[in-house]
């Protein structure tokens, strides 16, 4: 084989596993790497062992393993894809409830469906993870055929890929899974040396508004603390989980998708990825925000509080994250899904991607047409959001 050419698999085999524990952490992480936290074995295993991903929760593990088979050589693992049998559409952040209702009107079952995603985590990143040196385009097509066969074998309605990278989404689109656009709001670090330098890019009025928000938090005698890794104590985890649980209960009537076992586990197995912000008032912690990080990006994930305070949510979930990125040189801050209030605080609208394939050809045609029409609305929405950014006008 010429040097530098992608390896052409002589043969691939595909295996679907009902628990990530069917492989070892070293096998799985040997494919995914350990920088991006959400495809790490430890993250997915914490979800599973804590009960967040199981048949009863509607997230039934059905992960894909790809093995390379060569004559007279041992079979080796070359690819993995997080995959779930979904029995509802919650915790995905790409909304297909209208499609499920259309199926129901025609007397068809939309659930279960197959979903390649990170549960409860709308963070863009790798979904089909491959060993270096393989032809991704060719393997994508073969994986797609394997997924379609599996969907038909399981008698599910569809397969969905949520929050892949833009490049990967285009590959799946070319393979036959139509692309859907979404919009999130991310912060980008233009080599800022301080938060004040960042504010220097704002128009005068917007800059004053943001400064007032931060000052009001201080004026309420609230002190912010940022902890990472081993500095996060067991007592802090217990406090944070209490904030998370109570806030979820107040907002939605249940204690959240995740339990204390999940947070306790990741506090040990993923501590190098964890950033915890805690707000202190009169010697007690009253609120917290939990983020993950990799070598380039901070990911805002969970928030909770036991006391309300003006602008505390913005301080804990956004401004402290920006401060952390500037201090550590991270390039981007992804604070999570939705939230147009982020625009005036300097979070830029960016596209997110998903891909969708439905077994029923008539519904597939209808969804493809819907996505084409929706795309124009998403593009206009992104343009309108960009016009609301607080930055100074430049030539």
Mean pLDDT of 6-34: 89
pLDDT at 395 over 70: no
pLDDT score at 142: 96
Inter-residue contact 338 to 183 (CB < 8 Å): no
DSSP code of residue 194: S
CA–CA separation, 139 vs 161, rounded Å?
16
Tens digits of per-residue pLDDT, 275-293?
999 999 999 999 999 999 9
Contacts of 250 (CB under 8 A, 6+ apart): none
Inter-residue contact 323 to 316 (CB < 8 Å): no
Tens digits of per-residue pLDDT, 329-371?
999 999 999 889 999 999 999 999 999 999 999 999 999 999 9
What is the H or E stretch that residue 285 is in? strand 284-293
Domain boundaries, the chain: 12-182+351-384, 190-330
CA–CA separation, 91 vs 96, rounded Å?
12
Tens digits of per-residue pLDDT, 164-220?
999 999 999 999 999 999 999 999 999 999 999 999 999 999 999 999 999 999 999
Q: Do domains 12-182+351-384 and 190-330 have the same CATH topology?
A: yes
pLDDT at 2 over 70: no
CA–CA separation, 114 vs 130, rounded Å?
20
pLDDT at 317 over 50: yes
- CA distances 193 to 285, 324, 330, Å, are 29, 11, 12
Q: What does residue 284 show for φ and ψ, rounded to 5 degrees?
A: -130, 145
Look over the chain and give the mean of its residue pLDDT values, rounded to a whole number: 95
CATH of 12-182+351-384, one of 1.10.240.10, 3.10.580.10, 3.40.630.30, 3.40.50.300: 3.40.630.30
Instruction: Enter the pTM of the model.
Output: 0.94
pLDDT at 394 over 70: no
Tens digits of per-residue pLDDT, 85-103?
999 999 999 999 999 999 9
Inter-residue contact 173 to 119 (CB < 8 Å): no
CA–CA separation, 5 vs 310, rounded Å?
58
Radius of gyration of the chain (CA): 22
If we measure between CA atoms, which residue out of 303, 302, 386, 294 comes closest to residue 332? 294
Inter-residue contact 189 to 331 (CB < 8 Å): yes
Helices (H), 106-178: 136-154, 166-175
**To which residue do tokens 């067991």 refer?**
234
Tens digits of per-residue pLDDT, 121-133?
999 999 999 999 8
Is 190-330 a CATH 3.40.630.30 domain? yes
Inter-residue contact 390 to 206 (CB < 8 Å): yes
pLDDT score at 1: 40
Tens digits of per-residue pLDDT, 227-246?
999 999 999 999 999 999 99
CA–CA separation, 144 vs 66, rounded Å?
12
CA–CA separation, 299 vs 309, rounded Å?
23
pLDDT band at 69 (very low <50, low <70, confident <90, very high): confident
pLDDT score at 333: 98
């Amino acid at each position: 084989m010429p040097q530098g050419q992608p390896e052409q698999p002589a043969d691939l085999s595909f295996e679907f596993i009902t628990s990530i524990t069917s492989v070892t952490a070293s096998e799985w992480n040997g494919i995914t790497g350990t920088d991006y936290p959400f495809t790490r074995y430890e993250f997915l295993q914490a979800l599973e062992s804590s009960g967040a991903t199981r048949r009863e929760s509607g997230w039934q593990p059905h992960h894909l393993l790809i093995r390379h088979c060569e004559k007279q050589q041992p079979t080796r693992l070359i690819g993995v894809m997080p995959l779930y049998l979904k029995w509802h559409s919650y915790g995905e952040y790409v909304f297909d409830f209208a499609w499920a209702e259309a199926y129901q009107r025609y007397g068809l079952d939309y659930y279960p469906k197959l979903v390649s995603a990170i549960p409860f985590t709308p963070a863009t990143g790798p979904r089909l993870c491959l060993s270096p040196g393989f032809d991704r385009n060719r393997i994508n097509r073969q994986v797609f055929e394997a997924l379609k066969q599996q969907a038909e074998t399981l008698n599910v309605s569809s397969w969905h890929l949520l929050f892949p990278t833009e490049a990967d989404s285009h590959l799946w689109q070319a393979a036959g899974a139509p692309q859907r656009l979404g919009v999130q709001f991310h912060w980008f670090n233009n080599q800022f040396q301080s938060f004040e330098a960042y504010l220097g890019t704002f128009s005068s009025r917007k800059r004053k508004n943001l400064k007032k928000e931060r000052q009001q938090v201080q004026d309420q005698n609230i002190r912010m603390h940022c902890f990472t890794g081993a500095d996060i104590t067991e007592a802090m985890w217990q406090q944070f989980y209490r904030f998370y649980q109570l806030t979820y209960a107040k907002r939605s009537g249940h204690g959240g998708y995740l339990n204390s076992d999940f947070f306790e586990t990741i506090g040990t197995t993923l501590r190098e990825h964890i950033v915890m912000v805690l707000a202190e008032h009169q010697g007690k912690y009253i609120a917290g925000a939990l983020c993950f990080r990799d070598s380039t990006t901070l990911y805002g994930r969970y928030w909770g509080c036991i006391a309300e305070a003006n602008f505390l949510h913005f301080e804990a979930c956004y401004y402290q994250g920006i401060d952390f990125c500037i201090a550590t040189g991270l390039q981007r801050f992804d604070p999570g899904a939705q939230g147009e209030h982020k625009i005036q605080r300097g979070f830029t609208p960016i596209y997110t991607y998903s891909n969708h394939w439905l077994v029923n050809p008539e519904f597939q045609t209808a969804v493809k047409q819907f996505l084409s029409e929706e795309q124009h609305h998403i593009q206009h929405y992104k343009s309108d959001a960009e016009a609301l950014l607080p930055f100074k006008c430049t030539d």
